[in-house]
Chain A
Amino acid sequence: MLDRTAHEALVAAVGPENVISDPVQLRSYECDGLTGFRQVPSLVVLPHTTEDVAQAVRACHRHGVPFVARGAGTGLSGGAMPVADGVVISLQRMREIVDIDPVDRRAVLQPGVTNLDITKAAAAHGLYYAPDPSSQQVCTIGGNVAENSGGAHCLKYGFTTNHVLSMTVVLPDGEIVTLGGDTGEQLGPDLRGVVIGSEGTLGIACDITVRLLRTPETVRTLLADFPSVTAAGDVVSDLIAAGIVPAAVEMMDNLAIQAAEKAVGAGYTLTTPAALVVELDGPESECETQFDEVRAICDRHGCTRLHIAETAAERARIWKGRKAAFAAVGRISPDYIVQDGVVPRTQLAEVLSRIEGMGRNAGLRVANVFHAGDGNLHPLVLFDEDAGELERAEELSTDIAELCVELGGSLSGEHGIGTDKACSMPRMFGEADLSTMDRVRAAFDPRHLCNPGKLLPTPRLCGEQPGRYRPHPLEEAGVIERL
C-alpha cells in the first residue's frame, strides 16, 4: 500500500478523475502479455500531458515510490508488470498525433498512439512508419520505444531505434529533457539510443518524433513451400548471399502452418513441412529483377509450390496467416510458451534441428514461426498444463533461448528481457558487462524507482549468489576475448 501522503501527492499530480485505486479495476493492470507474472499495483495514474507525467513522477520521486510505465500491455517479457507497493503510469490517455509533417517527413506522437495509427495518419501523404510489430494494431509507440520493437519488415528497414529522431523523456526524478534532435546530428553521446530499448527503466518517453518513409512503389510477395525446414533455411542463406535484401523473409514450419490454417484459412499448404513468405519492395524495375532471382533460388532448393500474390488482397491474406500464427497455436495445444531468441543467420538450420531434437527428448512439440531473414526465432513450446507438462515446457523454452546464446546469438530479438529473462542475462553477459549497464542505470535513476527489478538480474529475483561467470561461447571459440 502507498502511504497516505504519497497517494494524495499522486492524486494531486494528475487529478482525481485520472486515478484508479479500486482494487477490482487495479487487477486489470496486474500483468502484461506475459500473464504468468502478476502483481497488482497500489495505484494507477492516467496522465494526459507530458507535464502530468512529470508531476506524477516527481511525486513518486519525492515519496520514494517505484513506478512502472505502461502502454498497451502487449509486452511479452513482463516489462510492464507492476512493482509491489508501486504505481503504474499508464499512457493510454496520451493518444494524440501531435503533428504529421509531410515536408520534413516526420510525425510527432504522444506515447499512447498505436503503431498502426501512425501509418494510418501518414498514409494520406504517401508516407508510412516502417517498424511493424505483429501487435501493431494495439501496441503503443511508447512501448515500441521502450522495447526497441521490430517486425517483419525490419530486415530491410531497421528497428524502432533507427526511426526515432527525438523524444521528450521524463527522467526518474521528474525532469523533462529532450533526447535526440531534428536530424541525426548529436550534441554529445547518443542518450536517445540508450533510452530506446531500455524497457522503461531509464525514464518515460513522452512526445516522440519519428521518421516517416515514402510508401514503396511496388510490393511483391510470395509464399513458397519446401520439403524441409532445412531447405527453407538454405533459401534464406542463398538470398542473403545473392545480395538481395528482401523487405521480409518469414518462415513457418508445419505445426505453425496447421495452427494458422485452422485459425484463419490463409491458403497455406497443410501438409508442407515448411513455408517461406518472401516480400520485396521498392522501385518497380528493381523489384521485378530481384523477384525473378528469388523464384530461381526457391526452385533450386526444391520448392514444391510457389504462390505469388497478384493482388493486395492476396498479399494481405498471406500476411494474415503469418501474423495469426502466435495466437493460432492455441488451437492445436491447450497451452504454449512463446520464446524469442536470435542466432546468426548461418546457424538457422543448426538451431532448428537442435530444437527439434530437444523437443523430442522433452516429449513436447515445438512450432516454429519466425523472422528468418534476421535469424530471430519464435519457437512456440506446446504443452498441456493439466497433464503436468508445465515445468518441462518452461525448461525446454529456457534451454532454447540459451541455445541461441551458445550459437553466438542473443537471448532476445524483440520481446526484451523484462522480468522474464533477467536471470538468464548472465548467460549472455559477464559480470563486468552487467555492472557497466547497472552504472548507466544508476546515472539515470540513482534511487531505483523507475521500473525496478527488470532487465538486469537482481538477487531478489535470481537468488543471492551472483551468477558465477561462465565464458561466453564466442570467447571459448576464440572469436571474442575478455582478458
Chain B
Amino acid sequence: MTATILTPTDLRSACEAFTESRGTIRIQGAGTAATWAGTAGTADVVVDTTGLAGIRSYNPADMTVSVGAGTPLAQLQDEVSRNGQRVAFDAARVRRGATVAGLIATADSGPLALGYGSMRDLVIGATVVLADGTPARTGGHVIKNVAGYDLAKLMHGSYGAYGLMTEVVLRLHPAPEVQRTVALDCTLSEASGHTRSLLAEAHEPVSVEWADGTLLIRIEGTADGTAARTRALAELTGGRALSDDEAAESWQRHVRLVDDATVRIGCRPSRLPGVLGRFHTQAVAGLATGVATLSVPAAQVGDVHEVVTEAGGTSVTRGATEGQVPAWGQQPSALRVLQAVKHELDPAFRLDSGRFGTWLEPAAVASAGTGTRDTSTGAAPSVAASRAEPRERGTSGGEKVRGAAEPNGPTLGTASRTRKPTSPGGTGSAGTEQEDS
C-alpha cells in the first residue's frame, strides 16, 4: 500500500492534514534520521514537513527567530549569520539538511551542547498540531517566560508521536568572533584525565570531544582572549593549537564519525571510559557531557544496551539494525506517564512514529491504566471511568482576604496584595472526540 503524502505549507493546511485524512499518520522531515531509534513502519498518510519552511519573524535586535518547523537548520544558520548571530547548536546531521523540528523531535545534539545545551534549551516557543487537528501554541517569543506548561519540551524527543510542530521560536546567540581548537592524540582514558584537569581550570571550553583517538577542545570568544586560553590549554594538555583549516578538518571528521555511528549513549562522564572500553570499536565521546556515539555491528548492540544500562545510562540505536535488536536500552521510568500523555493527545493512535518499540502501542497504553492506577492497591480503573469523574475538584476554594501576616518561613520582605480575577476565562473539557481511523 502506498501512503498518501501531504505537504502542508501553513497552519491551516497542517490542521487539515489531520482533519481531512484517515488512518495512521507519519510525520516526516528531511529524512536525515530515518533509521534512528528503529525504523518507522508504514502509515496511511505521510505528512511531509518540508513545506512548512522559512523564517516567519526575525528581529535581530531581540535575538529570537520564528521559523517554519520544516526549515533546514543549516539554511536558518545562513540567514541569521548575516546579522552576526547563530543558533548555538551543531548536531552532525545539520549538514545533511536536518530540519529544525526533526532535530527537536529526535532530541539530537552536537559538541556545542557542553556550552549551550540541546534544542530543548534553545526553543522558546512552538505551535503544534495535535492528531485531532487542534493547533496549540506554547511558550512565546521572549527568552524568559514561565506562563503555562512548556509543551515544547514534550516535543523534544517525541519522534513525531505526540503532534506535528508547524512553527518553532528559537533563542539566538551572538556568533563568536573566533573559534579555536586544541587537539591531542591520545587514548580515551588519557583524554578523560585531561578533561578532568581542564574543567578544573577556568578556560570555559564550549566542546570537549574525544573523536576516536584525538581529543578536541574548542573555545570561543574574542581574538585576544581565545589566543591566551588556547596557549594555556595546549600547555595544560600537551596538545597543539590547530590552524583554522586543521580545525575544520578535525571537526568534519568528528561529524563523519557521528554520522556513521550505530548507537548513541549517555552516562556519567566519569563512567564513559569504562563503558566504551568494553567495546573495541570506533567511538566519539563528549567527555564533559557524557554523550557518546559508537559504531558496533548489529550483533553487538544488545551488549551495548546492557553495559550502558548497568552504568545507569541511556542508549538508543542510530542506524538500521537487522533482526530483533531493540532500539532502546532501558525503558523510561515514567513510561506510564508517556503513555498517558499519548492517550490524551492522540487517543485514536493516529500518529504512528514506530520509534518507541512497543512503549506507545495501543495495547501497552491501554493496559497501563494511563495514570489512574492506584499504587496502593494495584487496582487499575479504566481510562474512560477516570475521565468521566467530575472535575469540580479542580478548583481551589481560596477565600480572598487581606491582612498583614507574613508567609511562613521566609524572612524576606514580600508584597501584600489582593487580586481580583480579571478577564473571564476557562477551558473546555480536555476530551476531544476523535475521528476514527
Contact = CB atoms under 8 A, between A and B. Distances in A.
A185 B173 CA distance: 23
Interface string A217-255: 100000000000000000001001101110000000000
Contacts of B367: none
A8 B290 CA distance: 46
B406 to A, nearest CB: 7
Contacts of B383: 446
Interface in A450-483: 452-468, 472, 474, 479-483
A193 B150 contact: yes
A349 B55 CA distance: 26
Given A147-B146, A187-B314, A58 B375 contact: yes
Contacts of B113: 184
Interface residue tally of chain A, by bracket?
A: 35 or more
A205 to B, nearest CB: 13
Interface in A120-168: 126, 134-135, 137-139, 147-148, 150, 154, 158-159, 161-162
A429 B344 CA distance: 19
A227 to B, nearest CB: 22
A28 B408 CA distance: 5
A1 interface: no
Contact of B410 (A74, A193, A197, A462): A74
A198 interface: yes
Contact of A126 (B200, B228, B405): B200
A104 B268 contact: yes
B229 to A, nearest CB: 6
Given A138-B412, A429-B137, A217 B202 contact: yes
Interface stretch (A303-311, A313-321, A358-366, A417-425): A417-425
B419 A394 contact: yes
Contact of B422 (A33, A34, A424): A424
Contact of B136 (A410, A433, A458): A433
A96 to B, nearest CB: 18
Given A33-B415, A78-B398, A449-B393, A344 B266 contact: no
A147 B56 CA distance: 30
A198 B149 contact: yes
Contacts of A384: none
Given A138-B409, A173-B375, A243-B84, A409 B136 contact: no
Contact of A194 (B154, B202, B268, B340): B154
B66 interface: yes
A283 interface: yes
A402 B422 CA distance: 10
24 contacts: A33-B407, A33-B412, A37-B400, A84-B397, A138-B410, A154-B144, A161-B150, A188-B158, A189-B157, A189-B158, A191-B337, A245-B174, A282-B202, A344-B141, A398-B422, A408-B140, A413-B145, A433-B136, A433-B148, A435-B136, A439-B344, A458-B396, A460-B392, A462-B421
A105 interface: yes
A345 B64 CA distance: 10
Given A190-B157, A461-B396, A435 B428 contact: yes
Given A103-B196, A436-B136, A62 B396 contact: no
A479 B417 CA distance: 35
B142 interface: yes
Given A283-B229, A474-B141, A479-B66, A193 B120 contact: yes
Given A443-B337, A455-B148, A426 B423 contact: yes
Contacts of A134: 412
Nearest to A70: B408
A393 B142 CA distance: 26
B403 interface: yes
Interface in A174-197: 174-175, 177-179, 181-194, 196-197
Instruction: Select the residue from A34, A82, A283 with max chain B CB neighbours within 10 A.
Output: A283
B137 A174 contact: no
A97 interface: no
B389 A447 contact: yes
A347 to B, nearest CB: 8
A464 B428 CA distance: 11
A437 to B, nearest CB: 5
Interface residues of B, number: 151
A327 interface: yes
Instruction: Select the residue from A35, A148, A290, A462 with max chain B CB neighbours within 10 A.
Output: A35
A448 to B, nearest CB: 4
Given A171-B337, A422-B425, 20 more contacts: A34-B415, A104-B290, A134-B412, A161-B153, A171-B334, A182-B313, A184-B113, A185-B316, A189-B161, A190-B107, A286-B225, A289-B225, A328-B413, A345-B62, A376-B144, A394-B419, A410-B145, A423-B424, A460-B397, A462-B424
Contacts of B143: 374-375
A385 B404 CA distance: 12
Interface string A373-398: 01110001000010000100110011
A442 B393 contact: no
Given A31-B407, A440-B151, A443-B343, A188 B146 contact: no
Interface string A6-20: 000000000000000
Interface string B231-273: 0000000000000000000000000000000001111111000
A216 interface: yes
Nearest to A32: B407
A15 B125 CA distance: 44
Instruction: Select the residue from B142, B312, B403, B417 with max chain A CB neighbours within 10 A.
Output: B417
Given A419-B396, A441-B149, A480-B56, A289 B224 contact: yes
B359 interface: yes
Nearest to B359: A188
A286 B221 contact: yes
Instruction: Select the residue from B155, B290, B405, B407 with max chain A CB neighbours within 10 A.
Output: B407
A197 B419 contact: no
Contact of B396 (A39, A58, A217, A283): A39
